[in-house]
Amino acid sequence: DKAHIGVTGLAVMGRNLARNLARNGHRVAVHNRHRERTDELLELFGSEGEFVPSYSLRELVDSLERPRRVVVMVKAGGPTDAVLEELVPLLDEQDIVVDAGNANFEDTRRREAELAERGVRFVGAGVSGGEEGALHGPSIMPGGASSAYRDLEPTLRSIAADVEGTPCVTHVGPDGAGHFVKMVHNGIEYADMQLIAETYDLLRGVLGHTPAQSAETFRSFDRGRLNSYLIGITAEVLDHTDERTGRPFVDVVLDQAEQKGTGRWTVQNALELASPVSGIAEAVFARSLSGNTELRAAGSGLPGPRGARTPEREQFVADVEQALYASKIVAYAQGFDQIRAGSHAYGWEIDLASVAAIWRGGCIIRAKFLDRIRAAYEQNPGLASLLADEDFRQALSGAQESWRRVVATAAEFGLPTPGISSALAYYDTLRAERLPAALVQGQRDYFGAHTYRRTDVDGVFHTEWAGDRSEHEA
Ligand code: 6PG
């Protein structure tokens, strides 16, 4: 009997995906560069379903029914190329290769085109949810040709997370669209985590909350509209006591946030697309700055505020909840704006409502909130910004006074809130009737004759700044 699907790369993500497939009744051929991993999988989990051990890619390919489906779950970049180089020559036309790693979408576009020339269908699929998600149901974001998706759909639906009977998987769009959307998912993940971290810092720095007290506050947030996986795990982490010292865990962890790079990619791409994802950028920079010991040492003696008035406790907690919610709306609005821009630039026609829908479960940013985003785009697929959706507009209108008080309090207390503050700046920028960008245009024209346009007359103009200051059409 041939296997239905194969998985190569049996580190924890690949292993759990293979187990998920087997547990859902698929016969899975499994392969790893080192045979011990394959044997270990069979030894530990062989009873969970039907596994076919393969000790070479040739064996893996030979054990599969046609068209063959091979999931590659190895490190992004060079290691993925190395596997493809060996695997693809063994395949036939119409076979499907799924790259389920965190690949850069530009690599996925290149690989998809290269494999298409040989008639092999390449599906770059974003998979989110960490180890647990891979095993119990991730959110899956496949790109590639729709014929490949049609072929994979029943299998993917059987292993994806499920929200009220709807599996968290959809065909995102052609070639690199799936990995692109996964990249932006991670950018949003960074922004969301940063906003939550700032909120914790405010509760502590302004109200003097202990980590355990903030855990309680986050639990109460989790019971409301902020309900999400990230808020839930935040409470767990804050409540955790370090075994070694008996101190709160957050107090013994080095305060230097690391990153593997998907957030950085998001911002790099946003710069290319001129999509202003300031919240994601602030989150990436906040991680970099936290790890920059040289800069932090240089700044450690700088003076802080000489005293600030502590706000009333309950009011401040309520304000912080509003500020976090409003900032979260902005972060997601920016992320979805980038997906819209990318979809347009690369010709993908991504349906934003279905992206929001498949993020409701399985992935790291899963949240109640995403159902509101889905509804917003379903109602109006051409929505220019989530901030313009009536529901979100109302939420922002209700939150804005609290949001301003929180940003002001943070400044008075000298607590850095780049995420929350930049989100408010974005909101106020979108709101503004006039922006000082007019002055910037004037400055550019002054020193470089870069020209400007006028509000009242069509055309491009320049003023003779060094001469008689007359204006003429450029
Ligand atoms: C997911 C996560 C995952 C990634 C982590 C770590 O959706 O399951 O995004 O893909 O490994 O986010 O990323 P950093 O190391 O960059 O924080």
102 CA to middle of ligand 1, Å? 8
186 among the known binding-site residues?
yes
102 among the known binding-site residues?
yes
Q: Is any ligand 1 atom within 6 A of the Cβ of residue 77?
A: no
- 463-469 CB contacts, 8 Å cutoff, 24+ apart: none
411 CA to middle of ligand 1, Å? 31
213 CA to middle of ligand 1, Å? 28
Alpha-carbon distance 27 to 24, whole Å? 9
- What are 203-228's pLDDT values in tens digits? 999 999 999 999 999 999 999 999 99
165: which residues sit within 8 A by CB, 6+ positions away?
none
| ipTM here | 0.96
Token pair of 42, please? Answer: 């069979």
291 among the known binding-site residues?
no
Amino acid at 337: D
182 is catalytic: yes
The residue whose CB lies within 8 Å of the most ligand 1 atoms, and thus the one to mutate among 364, 365, 366, is: 364
Q: Which of 112, 189, 198, 321 is catalytic?
A: 189
- The answer to whether 219 touches 233, Cβ cutoff 8 Å, is no
328 is catalytic: no
- What are 123-135's pLDDT values in tens digits? 999 999 999 999 9
254 CA to middle of ligand 1, Å? 19
Q: Is any ligand 1 atom within 6 A of the Cβ of residue 130?
A: yes
- The answer to whether 101 touches 76, Cβ cutoff 8 Å, is yes
Q: Is 387 helix (H, G, I), strand (E, B) or coil?
A: helix
Q: Is any ligand 1 atom within 6 A of the Cβ of residue 186?
A: yes
The pLDDT of residue 243: 97
Atom of ligand 1 nearest to the CA of 130: 8
Atom of ligand 1 nearest to the CA of 182: 7
The residue whose CB lies within 8 Å of the most ligand 1 atoms, and thus the one to mutate among 262, 280, 284, is: 262
Q: Is the dihedral of CA 439, 440, 441, 446 positive or negative?
A: positive
Alpha-carbon distance 69 to 85, whole Å? 16
Q: Which of 112, 182, 282, 328 is catalytic?
A: 182
Q: Are strands 166-167 and 162-163 parallel, antiparallel or unpaired?
A: antiparallel
260 among the known binding-site residues?
yes
Atom of ligand 1 nearest to the CA of 259: 16
- The answer to whether 403 touches 322, Cβ cutoff 8 Å, is yes
183 CA to middle of ligand 1, Å? 10
Q: Is any ligand 1 atom within 6 A of the Cβ of residue 129?
A: yes
The pLDDT of residue 397: 98
- The answer to whether 91 touches 97, Cβ cutoff 8 Å, is yes
Q: Is any ligand 1 atom within 6 A of the Cβ of residue 128?
A: yes
- What are 268-298's pLDDT values in tens digits? 999 999 999 999 999 999 999 999 999 999 9
Alpha-carbon distance 21 to 103, whole Å? 21
399 CA to middle of ligand 1, Å? 30
190 among the known binding-site residues?
yes
Torsion of CA 257, 260, 266, 269, to 10 degrees: 130
**Is 461 exposed, middle or buried (CB count within 10 Å of its CB: 0-12, 13-18, 19+)?**
middle
Alpha-carbon distance 471 to 101, whole Å? 57
Query: Residue 455 phi/psi, 5° resolution?
Result: -80, -25
127 CA to middle of ligand 1, Å? 10
Q: Is 416 helix (H, G, I), strand (E, B) or coil?
A: coil
Between helix 313-346 and helix 278-290 the angle, nearest 10°, is 110
The pLDDT of residue 57: 98
Cα 303 to Cα 68, 307, 411, 413, 439: the distances in Å are 64, 12, 13, 12, 33
The DSSP element (H or E) to which 341 belongs, if any, is helix 313-346
The DSSP element (H or E) to which 439 belongs, if any, is helix 437-448
| Tens digit of pLDDT at every position of the chain (474 positions) | 999 999 999 999 999 999 999 999 999 999 999 999 999 999 999 999 999 999 999 999 999 999 999 999 999 999 999 999 999 999 999 999 999 999 999 999 999 999 999 999 999 999 999 999 999 999 999 999 999 999 999 999 999 999 999 999 999 999 999 999 999 999 999 999 999 999 999 999 999 999 999 999 999 999 999 999 999 999 999 999 999 999 999 999 999 999 999 999 999 999 999 999 999 999 999 999 999 999 999 999 999 999 899 999 999 999 999 999 999 999 999 999 999 999 999 999 999 999 999 999 999 999 989 999 999 999 999 999 999 999 999 999 999 999 999 999 999 999 999 999 999 999 999 999 999 999 999 999 999 999 999 999 999 999 999 999 999 999
4 among the known binding-site residues?
no
Q: Is any ligand 1 atom within 6 A of the Cβ of residue 102?
A: yes
Query: Tokens 């390449």 sit at which residue?
Result: 122
The residue whose CB lies within 8 Å of the most ligand 1 atoms, and thus the one to mutate among 186, 264, 355, is: 186
Amino acid at 290: S
Q: Is any ligand 1 atom within 6 A of the Cβ of residue 260?
A: yes
- The model carries a pTM of 0.97
The pLDDT of residue 441: 98
- 304-313 CB contacts, 8 Å cutoff, 24+ apart: 304/414, 305/412, 305/413, 305/414, 308/409, 308/412, 308/413, 308/414, 309/412, 310/206, 310/207, 311/206, 311/405, 311/409, 313/207
106 CA to middle of ligand 1, Å? 18
The residue whose CB lies within 8 Å of the most ligand 1 atoms, and thus the one to mutate among 135, 189, 230, 268, is: 189
309: which residues sit within 8 A by CB, 6+ positions away?
412
The pLDDT of residue 65: 98
